[in-house]
Amino acid sequence: MSVLQTPEKGPVIHDWRPEDPAFWGSSGKLTARRNLWISIPALLLAFAVWMVWSTVIVRLNAIGFSFSTDQLFWLAALPGLSGATLRIFYSFMVPIFGGRRWTALSTASLLIPALWMGFAVQEPSTPYSVFVLIALLCGFGGGNFASSMSNISFFYPKSQQGTALGLNAGLGNLGVSVMQFCVPLVISFGVFGFMGGQPQVLADGSSLWLQNAGFIWVPFILAVTLIAWFGMNDLSSARASFSEQAVIFKRKHNWLMCWLYLATFGSFIGFSAAFPLLIKTSFPEVIALKFAFLGPLVGALVRPLGGWLADKLGGAKVTLWNFVLMIVMVFGVLHFLPKGGEGGSFYGFLGMFMLLFITTGVGNGSTFRMIPVIFRTLHEKAALGKKPEVREQALKNAGKESAAVLGFSSAMGAFGAFFIPKSFGTSMALTGGPEMAFYMFVGFYLSCIVVTWWWYARKGAATPC
């Protein structure tokens, strides 16, 4: 049997029963793992392209452009706006088109902004409006997360979804850190020789190949697109029309989890987008790109831990206490920021921000684990005491709804990639520093503590998870 084929010898699987121990042990686990380990690099590339502007903006003015700080923060924020909006649509695509086909197509779409960016930065006369368009197109990478998480949720049993989704998201989120680490390296020399274009000459006489920030992802995107097409599977049992999935808009818990996920993933991706420029503006003497990748790195690495802790201790409990820690870490960051351009400690700031990134990663994993548990519990209660076929259908409906909510809540959470960089930009424009934005985040996290405790964590909660 080929490693690229299921026991049914085709890309479409018609018999999929992950909750059946015999089926899972005989063939289900291997198939699910294969799809997961192909999904991860596809998602990693999506995050790399989505957040690439967070690194590019730091060097744009050095190669001949003259954009204001607010304009640069806009370029960091716009991929978040488009990516979050696209996630709303992407979250419903897997049950309509199939996970294999949609993963291949959405990965291939990353070629458009990657190539266009590579050509645009080579011409100093490129207008700001073109960079705005490219930044918006980088949102294709942001959209991919919703469909990827929805797809993987169908492959795993309830007891392992927290860990599986944590691995997919956590290692996929590493794309931000991989990008922020690799781009400063690859723009320092002509990776592609004469095919990659001429370097830009800086004021000190050194050379920079900023186009490599886009071009470097192209061969990997092509390779992963082919691997996804020939190596992944579509599940016929996961098929659902938009109208079948649209029932989630009537579910209270869909909107509650969107609120919580905006605080966890939204913080992770928003801080990731803003971190390089925040370092540069708060500590001008520091070379921001030497440190910017560390935050997304630790946040992504601990996300599987958040899913695993939620599997062991309960998602609501982990999420609740994690929000408390997020507030503590924000005040830690504020303590080490310069006041009026004076004082402050960069390494204190960096250390507290690393801890803040860790809490965003743990929260990402724990909130996502809550979703399938919540919807399975709701449908099990509704089918209690009814015929076996009714209970079986209830479990299928729970799977489809939780997959749709995973995708849709990720769409809402991704708006953090827009709001956080823009909040910092606005705060600096109005007050001269980022403090006002941080205090706004504290208020938001407090509201999330209340929501988590009342609906999910307190004794007697209607939907404990």
* Cβ partners under 8 Å of residue 27, min gap 6: 6, 7
d(C-alpha 404, C-alpha 293), whole Å: 31
Question: Which range, of 41-45, 63-67, 276-280, 376-380, averages the lowest pLDDT?
Answer: 376-380
**Of 446, 455, 270, 278, which is closest to residue 364 (Cα–Cα)?**
270
Asked if pLDDT for residue 5 goes beyond 60, the answer is no
The pTM (predicted TM-score) of the whole model is 0.76
Asked if pLDDT for residue 34 goes beyond 90, the answer is yes
Q: What is the pLDDT of residue 134?
A: 97
Among 4-18, 149-163, 244-258, 389-403, name the most confident range.
244-258
Burial class (CB within 10 angstroms; exposed 0-12, middle 13-18, buried 19+) of 34 = middle
Q: What is the pLDDT of residue 1?
A: 35
Query: Is 214 or 90 the better-scoring residue by pLDDT?
Result: 214
pLDDT tens digits along 168-182: 887 888 898 899 899
Asked if pLDDT for residue 4 goes beyond 60, the answer is no
Q: What is the pLDDT of residue 27?
A: 85
- Paired tokens of 171: 């290692």
Asked if pLDDT for residue 3 goes beyond 60, the answer is no
CB atoms within 10 A of CB 298: 19
Q: Identify any residues that bridge with 339 across adjacent strands, giving them in sequence order.
A: 342
Alpha helix stretches (DSSP H) within 91-187: 93-97, 99-108, 111-120, 128-137, 139-155, 158-186
Q: What is the pLDDT of residue 373?
A: 87
Q: Positive or negative CA dihedral for 378, 380, 383, 385?
A: negative
pLDDT tens digits along 217-238: 999 999 999 999 999 999 887 7
Q: What is the pLDDT of residue 330?
A: 98
Asked if pLDDT for residue 242 goes beyond 80, the answer is no
Q: What is the pLDDT of residue 8?
A: 53
Q: What is the pLDDT of residue 202?
A: 86
Q: What is the pLDDT of residue 106?
A: 96
Asked if pLDDT for residue 351 goes beyond 90, the answer is yes
d(C-alpha 85, C-alpha 200), whole Å: 34
Query: Is 149 or 178 the better-scoring residue by pLDDT?
Result: 178
pLDDT tens digits along 91-146: 788 888 888 999 999 999 999 999 999 999 999 899 999 999 999 999 999 889 87
Q: Is 4 helix (H, G, I), strand (E, B) or coil?
A: coil
Q: What is the pLDDT of residue 205?
A: 84
Any idea what DSSP says for residue 202?
Answer: P
Q: What is the pLDDT of residue 9?
A: 58
**Of 403, 318, 412, 329, which is closest to residue 365 (Cα–Cα)?**
318
The mean pLDDT value of the chain amounts to 89
**Of 214, 225, 49, which is closest to residue 138 (Cα–Cα)?**
49
Q: What is the pLDDT of residue 2?
A: 38
DSSP code string of 50-112: HTTHHHHHHHHGGGT----HHHHHHHHHHHHHHHHHHHHHHTTHHHHH-HHHHHHHHHHTTHH
pLDDT tens digits along 282-335: 999 998 888 989 999 999 889 888 888 988 898 999 999 999 999 999 999 999
Q: What is the pLDDT of residue 342?
A: 79
* Cβ partners under 8 Å of residue 249, min gap 6: none
- Give the whole-number percent of the chain exceeding pLDDT 90: 49
Label residue 367 by pLDDT band (50, 70, 90): very high
Average pLDDT estimate for 240-261: 85
